[in-house]
Structure 1
Amino acid sequence: MGGYGLIDLFAGVGGLDIAARSLGVPAVGIEWDKDVCATRRAAGLATVEGDVRTFSPADFPHANVLAGGPPCQTFSIAGQGVGRRALEGVQHFARRMANREDVSVCLAGTDDPRTGLVLEPLRWVLAAVDAGRPYESVVLEQVPTALPVWETVGKVLLAEGYSVVHGVLNAEEFGVPQTRRRAVLIARRRGVAVLPQSTHRRYRKYVSGSGGDLALPQCVSMGEVLKRDRPFVLVSNYGSFGDPAARGRRTSDQPAPTVTGKINRNRVVTAEGIDLDRLTAAEAGCLQGFPSSHPWAGKGIFQQIGNAMPPRLAEHVLTAALALDHEPAPVRTGGVGRLFGR
């Protein structure tokens, strides 16, 4: 479609790659984790197993779209100011990279190697520009605390002739049955970069139905995609606001909370508090937006699922980034075949 080809850095299990495939865009993902690579290959996703730092745009000459979600945990605003100091370092190194300075040795000497990894997409973009083959579009995503990093990278891309937009998207506003928030950057070489428009209402706790545009359908619930044989309550495995006893609760007519690698520790109970079967990997994958038949492989499957970008959200982001005339397919429900009322 449109002559696009995508290279996905830090590709994970391939939420972006699956989205690209649904859009008819060939994609190759670079991922270092062997178990994650096993899942990718089982799903038929083109995969290069290795460290993104050992590759460059020249290794993927047919790719004209760059995507990725580099690790950004060091930029958390929590703690003793470590995240703020790391962000200052990123801003400093990004400016030096914009001046075409080689900062690889400096980045390798940082306290946390993830600080350097977050600038890998920028290295790729600048290398492609200097080679005379700039990427047509760039898509970056991570946790909301990474937004200042995308703002820093965005300033460099603006100076290189890109139109840039960034912001935090709510996954449930795009048909994903969970309230996951992602910081997204979209850059376009041609045209004006825009974020995708919501297709569903935002979930708001303690509000009947959902907030947001009443012309949009309500956000998709856990019950719609899991179809267990009775309504249920998902009880968080950790306390809220530092209180171990204050465990978050979502009913099956609501979207799930953010799916993490520990979602299998959450209890599933009836309205009366009777324990039911805990979520399976297939069910956790469905809440992340993968089909129930997705071939998870290797070790740490729940962590693989928790680290993934929801394919449906990725499809909306890529559609906006590539300015495609595409309407994502309706949300599939009944993924695990256990219908209410059976």
Structure 2
Amino acid sequence: MIVDLFSGPGGLDHGAELAGVPSVGIEWDANAVATRIAAGLATVHGDVRRYGPADFPDAKILAGGPPCQTFTVAGAGAGRAALAGVLHAVRRMGARKPVDPAVLGDERTGLVLEPLRWALEAADAGRPFEGIVLEQVQQVQQVWEAYVEVLRAEGYSVATGVLRTEQYGLPQTRRRAVLVARLGGPVALPEPSRRPYRRGIAQDAGDARLAPWVSMGEALPDRGQFTVISNYGTGGDPKNRGRRSSGEPAFTVTGKISRLRLVDPEGRELPRLTPSEAGRLQGFPADWPWSGNDIPQQIGNACPPTLAAALIEAALGVPAAHERQAA
């Protein structure tokens, strides 16, 4: 079984289902919990800091994606500013020295240390997790690299890097810093099943051993042809707003996805993305029961299920026989 920290609306848990592994998630946000319950996912509504591995004795795999707001480029950057302190805290934890997350400022920054606390508590209790799967925005890669040294000292094989999600079947360009660790055998990051997206390069061009990336049009076939006009990453200048056609993958899905404009080939405004459509661009099934409030934020914060399935299989040491499909 997997215990999923910061489990959100269930992206990693659905990925666990795709990989054939049961899971239980811990989530404090009531809106995400409402979605999880509607989806029938095992859920503990609470703060991961109040729990530990002893509360989940059947869990063999630890997984999680701590909140990214203080690390992401779109945020204020408190986590990036506190990076040196975070790396120092990781080293102290590995040496079993006390750490006060309050010195890192924004309490969300300190949450990036929680998976390591869980892993070390389990090891010290003589019941280490057999596998670990972590994912975050790419700005957290340095934190995962610091984790590597600590986890290897605990006997884990560890692999970490930044993956492009369109290479794992997602109809969206999104880069995620990931870490996969395993006891009792070697571990490697999952091999991509699809080609990387390059603007202006045809979908069928590139490495013939890999399948083409998936376009928005393929994920949303009922929409017909359309163009998405981004409202972020522009510095406020409408002339800099990015555009992608339905024949390309989506921009990175964020909590602002409901603000994206869609126009038809003649430039006429189209209805904006529904929660189901936005969820599909994040790798969820079309019928995922989005519930509660702030659904765009839930979708933007979610772990893409198809990527999660590939990471879980890597942590288990199971070669992926084929690309997992969310729908």
User: What is the TM-score normalised by the length of structure 1?
Assistant: 0.90
- CA distance in 2 between counterparts of 1:78 and 1:22 reads 31
- Equivalence for 1:12: 8
- CA distance in 2 between counterparts of 1:124 and 1:148 reads 19
1:63 and 2:35 aligned: no
- Equivalence for 1:339: none
Paired residue type of 1:190: G
1:90 Cα shift? 1.0
1:168 and 2:137 aligned: no
Task: Call closer, same or farther: CA 1:47–1:78 in 2, change over 3 Å.
Answer: closer
Please, which runs of 5 or more residues in structure 2 have no aligned partner? none
Judge which range, 316-325 or 236-245, deviates more.
236-245
Which of the residues 125, 130, 153 maps onto 1:131?
125
1:36 and 2:32 aligned: yes
- Equivalence for 2:84: 88
Paired residue type of 2:256: K
Q: Is the contact between residue 137 and residue 176 of structure 2 (CA under 8 Å) also seen in structure 1?
A: yes
- CA distance in 2 between counterparts of 1:136 and 1:264 reads 39
Judge which range, 198-207 or 228-237, deviates more.
228-237
RMSD of equivalent CA atoms: 2.0
Q: Is the contact between residue 139 and residue 185 of structure 1 (CA under 8 Å) also seen in structure 2?
A: yes
Q: How does 1:96-135 map to 2 (within 5 A)?
A: 96-103=92-99, 106-135=100-129
Paired residue type of 1:108: A
Q: Is the contact between residue 27 and residue 45 of structure 2 (CA under 8 Å) also seen in structure 1?
A: yes
SS in 2 for 1:237: coil
Which of the residues 23, 26, 38 maps onto 1:27?
23
Q: How does 1:255-274 map to 2 (within 5 A)?
A: 255-274=249-268
Judge which range, 235-244 or 139-148, deviates more.
235-244
1:76 Cα shift? 4.9
Please, which runs of 5 or more residues in structure 1 have no aligned partner? 336-342
SS in 1 for 2:172: coil
Q: Is the contact between residue 315 and residue 328 of structure 1 (CA under 8 Å) also seen in structure 2?
A: no
Which of the residues 281, 285, 295 maps onto 2:275?
281
- CA distance in 1 between counterparts of 2:221 and 2:307 reads 22
Q: Is the contact between residue 34 and residue 49 of structure 1 (CA under 8 Å) also seen in structure 2?
A: yes
Task: Call closer, same or farther: CA 1:163–1:292 in 2, change over 3 Å.
Answer: same
Deviations 1:202-237 (A, max 9, x none): 100122336652321210111111112531111112
- CA distance in 2 between counterparts of 1:120 and 1:229 reads 41
- Equivalence for 1:207: 201
- Equivalence for 1:158: 152
- CA distance in 2 between counterparts of 1:171 and 1:27 reads 22
SS in 1 for 2:146: helix
Judge which range, 91-100 or 306-315, deviates more.
91-100
Task: Call closer, same or farther: CA 1:331–1:181 in 2, change over 3 Å.
Answer: same
Q: Is the contact between residue 234 and residue 269 of structure 1 (CA under 8 Å) also seen in structure 2?
A: yes
Query: How many correspondences in the alignment?
Result: 327
Judge which range, 94-103 or 309-318, deviates more.
94-103
- CA distance in 2 between counterparts of 1:76 and 1:262 reads 14
- Equivalence for 2:69: 73
1:324 Cα shift? 1.8
- CA distance in 2 between counterparts of 1:231 and 1:80 reads 36
Paired residue type of 1:316: A
SS in 2 for 1:245: helix
Task: Call closer, same or farther: CA 1:35–1:215 in 2, change over 3 Å.
Answer: same
Deviations 1:253-306 (A, max 9, x none): 111111111111111101221111111111001111111111010001111011
- CA distance in 2 between counterparts of 1:204 and 1:168 reads 17
Task: Call closer, same or farther: CA 1:241–1:204 in 2, change over 3 Å.
Answer: farther
- Equivalence for 1:306: 300
- Equivalence for 1:251: 245
SS in 1 for 2:248: coil
- Equivalence for 2:184: 190
Judge which range, 108-117 or 258-267, deviates more.
108-117
Paired residue type of 1:249: R
1:144 and 2:138 aligned: yes
1:22 Cα shift? 2.1
Task: Call closer, same or farther: CA 1:28–1:267 in 2, change over 3 Å.
Answer: same
User: What is the TM-score normalised by the length of structure 2?
Assistant: 0.94
- CA distance in 2 between counterparts of 1:28 and 1:287 reads 24
- CA distance in 2 between counterparts of 1:89 and 1:207 reads 42
- Equivalence for 2:42: 46
Q: Is the contact between residue 239 and residue 245 of structure 1 (CA under 8 Å) also seen in structure 2?
A: no
Paired residue type of 2:269: D
Q: Is the contact between residue 204 and residue 211 of structure 1 (CA under 8 Å) also seen in structure 2?
A: no
